[in-house]
Amino acid sequence: MTNSSANSPTDQRAFTGSNGWRYGLLGLPLAFVALPLYVILPNHYAREFGMPLATLGLVLLLARLFDAFIDPLLGKLSDKLFARSAKAVLAFGALAGVFLALGFVLLFFPPLAVRQQLPMLIAWAAAMLLITYAAYSALSIAHQSWGAMLGGTEAQRSRLVAWREGLGLIGVILASILPVAVGLIASTAIFIIAIFVAWTAWTQSVKPLSSLKNTATHSIFKPFQHITFKRLLAVFVLNGIASAVPATLILFFVQDRLQAPKQMEAAFLGAYFVCAGLAVPLWLRLIQRLGLAKSWLLGMVLSIVVFAWAIQLGSGDTTAFIVICALSGIALSADLTIPSALLAGVIADAGDRGRAEGAYFGWWNFATKLNLALAAGLTLPLLGLMGYTPGTQQPQALTALTIVYCLVPIAIKLVAALTLYLLMIRPNQVKSVRVEPAETLSQAQEERG
């Protein structure tokens, strides 16, 4: 990819440590709320409220599909707000933050009367999911677009994403520990405080965008005019599905396959996300040596090897699973750091920087939500059909859980890795080979001249 936007005045101001953490801090509360929404919620409603897995899967599927399909529209709205001013985006972000906090509280703490009647609980969960997901998506798209507008080289884009995702990992770690340490009510209060502080810090990173003007005159389907975006999106979707399946099922696997004590759950999630955060500098160094795409491929291979190991685990294998969580976290770090940096490069190379970031990230988030919707909507009913129910110890049911938790992600991840190589890495290698002689001849002519 070229770095056509790397030398703009905005780029020179955008990559200071001060701008980096001020922009990236919002990643902390967004990730803090994402872990309960996408990992804890299915287990919470199944065990605490007794919602059947098939029903729960259908509710999550429909809510997440709705969430996915509104993301491109939210992206278009984000571009229109950027066309007005950065302050309009910040005001919109504040409103989305309020609805996100409200929806989250009502989702996890439904009234007692609602909990006691399954039809009411289903309707309540669906409504609160729609509110929470929409607010989360609106805030995330605006924040991601802001970062992409800052542009820069591959290394600069990676560092900017690393600020956002690194602070996001801290949020995930807090979300995995605090509910156990201080309770769900106290951790929810901490989240509300964090999102206010992060939004305030975001407002202080407004200056680097003062020279950018988003025209917002494009079609919502503009990103699909570029073949590189379609290739990247295909890899992102496949890899995302492979990651979403175990994220949906991890607590079921820990509680029933490993039969681990309740207090071990925080250790597993903590090892996963702590190692993901600690691995960010490692991936940034690899990116400088290998490039973004090859580094991402390496992360996929690591994930495949780790899940192959997890197939062999059984009751009591908690120590081995902590190691697996740590290695999976290292692989996750690549998924968090690299794809968004690749997308920012695609936007810049397409000439759409400062014009259509919202459209790109709208479809990007659409793909993310579609992955999560399919993971919950297909794997939970599938497990039910295969005879698995939460709390079971029947060998056949536990084997089904292992197959869906381990083998399904491995198969999909293999397809994602192959697609990444064939669509993004190999074409660039062939292009480099073809271009090299011309470049050499040009350099020789310059030297003679």
Q: For residues 278 and 397, give the distance between their C-alpha atoms in angstroms, rounded to a whole number.
A: 36
Residue 264 lies in a domain: yes
Residue 5 lies in a domain: no
**Secondary structure class of 279 (helix, strand, coil):** coil
Look at phi and psi of residue 135 and say left if phi exceeds 0, alpha if psi is from -120 to 50, else beta. alpha
Residue 442 lies in a domain: no
What domain range includes position 356?
19-207+221-432
DSSP single-letter state for residue 356: S
Q: For residues 3 and 345, give the distance between their C-alpha atoms in angstroms, rounded to a whole number.
A: 7
Residue 212 lies in a domain: no
Q: Following CA atoms 72, 74, 75, 76 in sequence, which dihedral angle do they give, to the nearest 10 degrees?
A: 90
Q: For residues 61 and 52, give the distance between their C-alpha atoms in angstroms, rounded to a whole number.
A: 14
CATH code of the domain containing 37 = 1.20.1250.20
Residue 444 lies in a domain: no
- Helices then strands, counting H and E runs in the chain, come out as 19, 0
Residue 87 lies in a domain: yes
87, 146 contact by CB (below 8 A): no
Residue 134 lies in a domain: yes
HSE on the CB side for 444, CA within 13 Å?
A: 6
Total domains in the chain come to 1
Residue 328 lies in a domain: yes
Digit-by-digit pLDDT tens for the chain (449 residues) are 434 333 343 444 445 556 778 888 998 999 888 877 777 788 778 878 888 878 888 888 888 788 888 888 888 888 888 888 888 888 999 999 999 999 999 998 888 888 888 889 999 999 999 999 999 999 998 888 887 776 566 666 677 777 887 888 888 788 877 877 787 788 889 989 999 999 998 887 655 554 445 555 567 788 888 899 999 999 999 999 898 888 888 888 999 999 998 878 878 888 888 898 889 889 989 988 899 999 999 999 999 999 999 999 988 899 999 999 999 999 999 998 899 889 888 888 887 776 777 888 888 888 887 887 777 777 888 888 888 888 888 888 899 999 999 999 999 999 999 999 999 888 776 665 444 444 433 444 444 44
